[in-house]
Amino acid sequence: MIEFIVDKNVSVNDTTFNSLTDAINALPEKYESAKIYISPGSYYEKIELRKGNLTIEGLGNAPSDTVMYYDDFARKDMPDGSKYGTFRSYSFFIDANNVTLKNLTISNTSGPENEAWQAIALYADGDNLLFENIRLLGHQDTLFTGPLPPKEVQPGGFIGPKQFDPRINGTQYYKNCYICGNVDFIFGSATAYFDYCEIESIPRSGADKDVQGYVTAASTPEGQAEGYTFRKCRFVSDNCPELSVYLGRPWREYAKAIFIDCEIGNHIKSEGFHDWNKPLAHETSYYAVRACYRTDGSFYIPTADFVKE
C-alpha cells in the first residue's frame, strides 16, 4: 500500500507533497493500491486523475476544511481564440476505475452562469467510483457523470479530454454528499446512485423567476438499465422562489431518473419534470417518484404526464 500526504505548508520529500497534482504524478505506473491524505487548507489546482485503485481523503474535521478549487469555464478563451467549452472547464477530472474520494470540497469558482456559462466542478468518468462526505460547488453543470453521450448535437460540443474515447458506462456512488447549482447541475450518462445527499438549488443570475433551474439532465444511453437513483436525499433551496425548479429534464431522450423517499422542497415545481421540448422523451425517458414528500410532510406526486409512477 502506497501512502502519500499532501500539505501545502511542509517540506517535500518522497511521501509528502505540497499539491495533489504532485502526489498523483509521483505514483508509479503500476501499483496495487494507494491512499493520498490531504491536510486542511485551500488548494488552487486543476486536478487530472487517470490512475485508479486510489483513495483520496481530506484530513479535516469536515469536508469544508479541505478545498480543491479552480476557475475555468466554458466562455473562457483558449490561446487560439476558441472557447474552452463545457468539457474542458472542470476543476477535478477523473478518468479511472476504483477511485474513492472522502471528506473534501471540490469547487468551480468561476462565477455565475450568466458570466461563465457552463463550469464543471467534478468530471467523473469510470467504474466503481465512490464519493463520501464530498461537497460539490458550482452554478451550471456542477457535476458531470461521464461518459459523454454517443453523439454531439452541435459540432464541437464535446471538445475535451474524452471527446474521441469509447463511451463506457460505469457505476458511481455518492453518499452523504452536498451538491449545489442551478442549471442541469447533475448531468451525464453514468449509472449513479445518490444516498442521503443534500441537493441545493441556487438562483440563476438575472433569470426569469418562474424557472430558476433544473436539478438533473440525464443522458442515459438507450438500453442502459439504470440512470440516476436518488434515495433518502433532500432537495432544498434557501433563495429560489416556490415552484421555480424542475427535478430534471432529458439531455438525451432515454434519460432515466428515480427519486425514492426523498424530501422535495417547495422550490420544486408541481410538474416535477420538463421534456426539454423533446416529444420522443415522453415515450422513451423514465422518470419516477416513489414515497417522496414535501417539507411539510405531504406526499409529493409530480403532475407531468410522462412520469411513469
**What dihedral do alpha carbons 66, 71, 74, 79 form, nearest 10°?**
-130
Q: How many angstroms from the chain centroid is the CA of residue 84?
A: 19
* Cβ neighbours, 10 Å, residue 292: 22
pLDDT band at 177 (very low <50, low <70, confident <90, very high): very high
What are the residue boundaries of the structural domains of the chain, listed by start? 71-294
How does DSSP classify residue 304?
-
Distance from C-alpha of 77 to C-alpha of 83, rounded to nearest angstrom? 5
At residue 114, the pLDDT reads 77
271: left (phi over 0), alpha (psi -120 to 50) or beta: alpha
Say which CATH topology domain 71-294 has. Pectate Lyase C-like (2.160.20)
State how far the alpha carbon of 215 is from the alpha carbons of 40, 51, 142, in Å: 30, 30, 10
Judge whether 66 and 60 are in contact, CB under 8 Å: yes
Q: CA-CA distances (angstroms) from residue 43 to 21, 68, 164? A: 10, 5, 30
pLDDT above 90: percentage of residues in the chain:
92
Per-residue pLDDT, 288: 97
Q: List, in sequence order, every residue forming a beta bridge with 182; answer none if it has no partner.
A: none
Q: What is the pLDDT of residues 61-117, one digit of tens each?
A: 999 999 999 999 999 998 888 899 999 999 999 999 999 999 999 999 998 887 779
Task: Tell me what percent of the residues of the chain surpass a pLDDT of 70.
Answer: 99
- Burial (0-12, 13-18, 19+ Cβ within 10 Å), 16: middle
Decide if pLDDT at 207 tops 70.
no
Residue 208 above 80 pLDDT? Answer: no
pLDDT digits (tens, 9 = 90+) for 229-240: 999 999 999 999
Question: Exposed e or buried b for every residue in 221-239, given b needs 16+ CB within 10 A?
Answer: beeeebbbbbeebbbbbee
Across the range 21-38, mean pLDDT stands at 96
Please determine, for residue 154, whether its predicted confidence score (pLDDT) is greater than 90: no
CA distances to 21, 117, 176, 242, 298 from 78, rounded to whole Å, are 22, 15, 36, 39, 50
- pLDDT, residue 302, reads 95
- Over residues 135-142, the mean pLDDT reads 97
